Amino acid sequence: MNRLAKETSPYLLQHAHNPIDWYPWGEEAFRRAEAEDKPILVSIGYAACHWCHVMERESFEDETTARIMNEHFINIKIDREERPDVDHIYMDALQAMAGSGGWPLNMFLLPSRKPFYGGTYFPPRAAYNRPSWKETLLAVSEAFRLKRKDLEDQAASLTEHLHQSNQFGMDTVNRLIPKEELFTEKQCDAIVLAIMGQADKEWGGFGHAPKFPGTYIIQYLLRYYRTKKNEEALRQALLSLDKMINGGIYDQLGGGFARYSTDEKWLAPHFEKMLYDNALLTDTLCEAYQLTKNNVYAQTLRHTLEFVQRELTSPEGAFYSALDADSEGEEGKFYVWSLEEVEAILGTDAPAFCAYYDVQRQGNWEDHNILWVPRPAETVAAELKMVLPELTALLRKCREKLMEVRSRRVRPGLDDKILLGWNALMIHACCKAYAALGDQTFLNMAQRAMTSIWQNMRHPGASPAFWHTYKAGEARYPAFLDDYAYLIRALAALQEVTGELEWLRKAKALTEFVTEQFGDENARYCYYTAAGQADVIVRKKEIYDGAIPSGNAVMAQNLWYLSIVFDRKDWAERAVTMTAGLAQTVTRYPASFGVWAGMMLQMVQGTPELAVAGSDYQARMKELNELYLPYKVLLGAEKDQEDIPLLQQRAQTGKTWIYLCKDYHCMKPVEYISEITNLI
């Protein structure tokens, strides 16, 4: 076993038996590289990554390949989910070199850790227009010996590019211009036009295959429709959700969504299931349900959170990170079926089931069948000469039988590390699900998870600091900007559904910590890493909304929200300045800045400030949460709260009042939700 045997990451532990002399990222490897003047190979992946497993089987388990790597390089293995800070740096370098990136990420560094060459997957023999891994290793080693100056120049250029990538947010921002003029309906309309220009109006989603869920821009379209009543925006948002729900990207038996679809029809997913995708899709489905009251969205919400509770929840109540794409060495084997299997299990019910879920003798994907719903249930029922309730009952019974058989298969690997930021995303999603559906199960999930991370992931010596990852009783790595941004947002959401103001006070303390430890020199944006971290060559500032939201975008939302709660004009100004600094870029490229686009829309639509005061405040808050008010600030208490301006001088004996303020003025307080709906 190599040094990775002492790690806690499931991904690193998978490589602990490789014949390669792997190091974890750290001083021991850095010192050896400098002492022996050897290049560093950094190989980055994650536990649910299919091609990471392929490259391990083909190359990292091969003795001949290992000898080359051990002789010529200091080899470092990184779990990108444990060290996203390191991953961001070298992924940016690869994209600058190659124009694209992905995982596995294999990057060659000078002993100083500056990158000079890299790539993603390398085959064991030259193929797919790629050199073999052995050829690459030997060529890089030779270049390091014979062309060192060229490599140092390349590394200096790439490192300078990494520094320059922090120079953004220079769109014109005049602090004297009111936000109503900085952010306009015209910008919001232009964002919709840009989104619709990429929309697939047949199969939903945006762009071509591979297709990712695009939750941020679906949310934008839903929120835009709420006030503008733009039917095209609503139609595209709902089409995208409907096609995903009916597709193979959604686990028709067990619930939950895979990471992305390899085709435009959402049929064939990359079968890994990530916690963050299911959190973000839950968020979006909640909004779709609140807007439309379509029961399909409620059913999908329940099914997805049942999956999370069943397969991604730790005994303490926190959430695990992911399920692998592979089982028994094959991608998707756990999830796919042959016609013969289905017929043997379902008997006379098989024809109806196969007609609905497109189960074919030759298979609908690589000689196997992925369950999906390409046709409406009404159409299938008519063909089978069945009434719809009869078909629905039959399908439910069949799914239960297949699920029972599937549960006996060899399961995909579980990445059971607990990540602070991803847990916060799921806590937020559970709060929204409870608000939308009123199911206590979802609130219990949120509260248990928050209690667990508060107990296990807080830094004991530097409160209110947190750790990024937790597993087997051990917390590691100082938390990153994303972790704190998502946690602050989750705390605010938890207060909105519980009425417990202590969560907001914790959010305030964390926000003060983040602005102090992560804020940049201009007091505008935030670095990804806290001040004082010494093991990265660049402190990055991330603004793109990728698979998970930009920490800076979520912090802008947090600062705006908490500025209203605590009357912090400095936080309000910072939120506006952060967003305005990117406004032109966001308007042009909303697919890459979906959360920022939502912040701009909020500035235009306004933020309803709802304060509930009186003995029945929790019941009134529960009623308000059922409404589709995506940009609201909601808080309540039985008595006045000295430290919260929105709850000062509100309480009146024997009454529960609802106060609404918006755009710098307040309405007359009311007692009933129907009255507040009319006012909003």
CATH numbers and ranges of domains, the chain: 3-164 (3.40.30.10), 197-328+415-605 (1.50.10.10), 335-408 (no CATH), 609-679 (no CATH)
Phi, then psi, of 663 in degrees rounded to 5: 55, 50
Q: What are phi and psi of 178, to 5 degrees?
A: -65, 155
**C-alpha separations of 521 from 420, 431, 530 in Å:** 26, 35, 13
pLDDT at 176 over 60: no
Residue listed under structure tokens 């975008």: 553
**pLDDT band of 172, cuts 50, 70, 90:** low
Q: Which residues contact 375 (CB under 8 A, 6 or more apart)?
A: 356
Contact 217, 591 (CB under 8 A): yes
CA–CA distance, 429 with 308 (Å, rounded to integer): 11
Q: Is the pLDDT of residue 417 over 90?
A: yes
Confidence bin at 597 (pLDDT 50/70/90): very high
Q: Which residues pair with 326 in a beta bridge?
A: 331
pLDDT at residue 110 in the model? 97
What's the confidence (pLDDT) of residue 461?
Answer: 75
Which band of pLDDT confidence, cut at 50, 70 and 90, is reported for residue 459?
confident
**Beta bridge pairs of residue 415:** 322
CA 312 to centroid of chain Cα atoms: 15
Lookup: tokens for 385: 């000469």
For residue 215, is pLDDT > 70?
A: yes
Q: What is the mean pLDDT of residues 472-484?
A: 95
What gap in Å lies between CA 167 and CA 152, rounded to an integer?
24
Let me know: does 41 contact 47? Beta carbons within 8 Å.
no
CA distance 490 to 446: 9
Q: Is a pLDDT exceeding 80 seen at residue 650?
A: yes
pLDDT digits (tens, 9 = 90+) for 282-336: 999 999 999 999 999 999 999 999 999 999 999 999 999 999 998 998 999 999 9
Residue 407 pLDDT more than 90?
Answer: yes
pTM of the model: 0.94
Helix H or strand E segment including 40: strand 40-45
The verdict on whether omega for the bond into residue 39 sits within 30 degrees of 0, i.e. cis, is no
**473: phi > 0 → left, psi -120 to 50 → alpha, else beta; which?**
left
Find tokens 């917390």 and name the residue.
475
If one counts every other C-beta atom within 10 angstroms of the C-beta of residue 567, the result is 13
Joined tokens for residue 104? 């596995």
Confidence of residue 90 (pLDDT cuts 50, 70, 90): very high
Angle (nearest 5°) at CA 432 between 428 and 434: 115
The predicted structure's pLDDT at residue 384: 96
Given a contact cutoff of 8 angstroms between Cβ atoms, the answer to whether 437 and 298 are in contact is: yes
Measure the CA–CA gap between 86 and 24, rounded to whole angstroms.
12
Cα–Cα distance, 361 to 349 (Å, whole number):
16
Side-chain-facing half-sphere of 77: CA atoms under 13 Å: 29
Helices (H), 251-349: 275-292, 295-311, 339-346
> What is the DSSP secondary structure assignment for residue 553, as one 8-state letter?
H
DSSP reduced 3-state for 450 = helix
As a whole number of angstroms, the distance between CA 515 and CA 268 comes to 43
Distance between CA atoms of residues 26 and 44, nearest Å: 14
CA distance 148 to 110: 9
Can you give the pLDDT at residue 32?
A: 97
Alpha helices by DSSP H, listed for 518-654, are 551-566, 569-580, 583-588, 594-605, 617-625
In the DSSP assignment, the letter for residue 636 is E
Q: In terms of Cα–Cα distance, which of 561, 606, 582 is closest to 185?
A: 606
